[in-house]
A and B are shown apart, each in its own frame.
Chain A
Amino acid sequence: MSRRARLGWSILILGLYLLHQDLWFWRQARPLVLGFLPIGLAYHAVYCLAVTFLMWGLTRYAWPAHLENPLRLNRRPDEGSGR
């Protein structure tokens, strides 16, 4: 994975972490989503879906497949075997 891709994934993870600290719905119960879910609760249900999507992306595009080959444990997939 390129340096740029690593940076991109790091920003995405950090961004999702920051979205967990949702001060914007702190004192708010309405609207009731689907007529019964307070917005703060519905937000975090959707948040779980967003995390699922991020995890899907990580496993699809940033999967550490090189770990299948143990000798490459701490090497990036784009690195050669000699060091």
Chain B
Amino acid sequence: MIPALIVFAYLAVILYIGIFAWRGVRGQGAAEEYFLAGRSLGPIVFLLSLFGTNMTAFTILGSAGHAFANGIVTFSLMASASALVIPLTLFFIGTRLWALGKQFGFITPVQMLRDRWECGHIGTVIFALQAGLLVPYIIIGVMGGGTALRAITGGVIPYWFGGGIVALVVMGYVFFGGMRGTALVNAFQTTLFLSFGVAAFVVIGQGIGGFPSAMESLLADPDTGPLLTRERISPLYYFSYTFIPLSTIAFPHIAIFCLTARRLAQFKGTVVLYPLCIMAIWLPCVFLGVAANAMTGTPAIAQKLEARQALAIAPAEMPAADREALRRQAAGDDVIPVMLEAFAPLWLAGLLGAGILAAVMASDSQILALSTMFTEDVFTYYGGTARFGEAVQVQTGRAFVVILTVAAYIIALGAPQSIFDLAVQYAFSGFAALSPLLVAALFWKRSTKWGALAVALWVLLAVILNARAPGLLAWFGLLPVVPMTVISSVLMILVSLATPPPSAATLARYGW
């Protein structure tokens, strides 16, 4: 019961933070205040919130589960690659987005693309594609909330009710607090992530009698020894993964967040400290996931290891349902909760619950981003704000938040999570393949709207192909994200060169 109480206290705190932020959203400039926190976030909130926005349930649970099955490679595959690529994209692209937003008053990336390439409906196509790729994340967030609350309360709160509570809380602070509320909540959540990782590492390390002996026992066993190397992963597959973090800056919620900084200098601390934050959160989670393989004395983990062995020697004719059941049993997404249950005091288990909820509630930024995009790229673009005024624009944004959250909740109740898990994977590749759009818009004056349209249509086709025929784009052992991004870049270049550039007046406005 104590963990459940801590979690509910946590939900109350973030709801309060979000509603507290509501006070600034009124009067002149209300849209910029609601959607961008008045472009006034300070350096600490900017760093913590940008980092928190990018953290999902996968960061704490999925990373440990991946490491439990695949070993230390998880860290270099997903964390250290991001530690290099994400700050670089913030440095080169994020700062320019900020400058354009400041100069021309842009609130969304599509506004910038429309202006830069002198296009209208092509911008709407890009908006629709971005929105379509973002929706699965929001649904996954609601599903994760329901699952987490059910687990934390030992089943007292059913999935449908837990999902409803989480959806309501997220909707509450996004509705009232807008970007300022979301940013403050994300900053609070990141602080929680950071303290959780270190606390869990220390407590579990003491509990299992020290990590050196755990590592030696893993090395002594030929089945688990390779987990401490990367020999089970091909170098090409490993190389492919460095393309995935390109998706970060192409995510609308990250690009929009870049516009919230008060000054350009705010990016400095974020760019420098981002790799350290990644290390502080991922390293303990990955290491604990690997170390869990040595905890054969813990029944829940022993069962997982047995299921993994049974899967490894399963005959080819084993029914798919049995194979899937074994796979689920062997999955390690809950190894950190299991380890904490075995070794941690109740308060830390409660902190864990709050940490998990904080992670799954990363959907707040995505809900706000979709609302911002809808009101700016559709409502305002097609004349809504000019006709009804800025106050109605903000109310439209809020209404969109409610509609989106309710729709996500209804879908989450009826659809199997596996579908959306897959959709999220495709979306990562899709956003990475959209990154050439931003690069071309910001750095290549000869790029054109037709090049942008070609990229958008190709990404749409590639995502559908990936979903319909997995493996079709996995050429030469590479992940599909590599050919997708390379073809996007080539299309942007070839189609742009074959079509007329934007007018000299527009290019001059962009400093060319």
Contact: A26 with B230, CB < 8 Å? yes
Residue among A26, A52, A64, A65 with the highest chain B CB neighbour number at 10 A: A52
* Cβ contacts under 8 Å, A37 to chain B: 287
Complex Cα distance, B192 from A34, in Å, reads: 27
Measured between C-beta atoms, what is the minimum distance from B3 to chain A in Å?
29
Asked whether B511 lies within 8 Å of A71 as measured between CB atoms, the reply is: yes
1/0 contact trace for B185-222 toward A, CB 8 Å? 00000000000000000000000001110110001000
Q: Which of B72, B79, B98, B278 contacts A38 (CB 8 A)?
A: B72
Q: Does B84 contact A (CB under 8 A)?
A: yes
Chain B CB within 8 A of A5 CB: no
Q: Does B425 contact A (CB under 8 A)?
A: no
A-B contact count (CB 8 A): 131
Contact with B along A51-83 (1 / 0, CB 8 A): 110011011000111011011111100000000
Q: Is the CB of A74 within 8 A of B512?
A: yes
A28 within 8 A of B: yes
Instruction: Say yes or no: A26 contacts B229, CB within 8 Å.
Output: yes
Taking the nearest CB of chain A, how far is it from the CB of B210, in angstroms? 8
Asked if A40 contacts B76 (CB within 8 A), the reply is: yes
Binds A, one of B268-276, B309-317, B468-476: B268-276
Contact A26 B235 (CB under 8 A): yes
CB distance from A64 to the nearest CB of B (A): 6
Q: What's the nearest-Cβ distance from chain A to residue B198, in Å?
A: 14
Q: CB within 8 A of A65: which of B103, B231, B264?
A: B264
- B176: min CB distance to chain A, Å: 32
B357 contacts the other chain (CB 8 A): no
Please report the C-alpha to C-alpha distance between residue A20 and residue B263 in the assembled complex, in whole angstroms.
32
A74 to B219, CA, bound (A): 54
Q: Say yes or no: A48-B511 contact (C-beta < 8 A), given A58-B271, A59-B271, A67-B99.
A: no
Which of B87-95, B132-140, B166-174, B390-398 sits within the interface? B87-95
Closest-by-CB residue of A relative to B213 is A36
Closest residue of B by beta carbon distance from A74: B511
B163, chain A: closest CB distance, angstroms: 35
Q: A16 vs B88: C-alpha distance in the bound complex, in angstroms?
A: 12
CB of A41 within 8 A of CB of B75, answer: yes
- Chain B: which residue is nearest A21 at the CB level? B239
User: Which of A13, A23, A25, A36 sits near B235, CB closer than 8 Å?
Assistant: A23
Among the listed A16, A25, A26, A73, which residue makes an inter-chain contact with B103, where contact means beta carbons less than 8 Å apart?
A73
Question: Roughly how many angstroms separate A48 CA and B102 CA in the complex, as a whole number?
Answer: 32
**Cα distance A41–B242 in the bound complex, in angstroms:** 17
Closest 5 CB pairs of A and B: A70-B103, A36-B211, A29-B228, A74-B511, A73-B511
Report A's interface with B, CB cutoff 8 A: 13, 16-17, 20-23, 25-30, 32, 35-38, 40-41, 44-45, 47-49, 51-52, 55-56, 58-59, 63-65, 67-68, 70-75
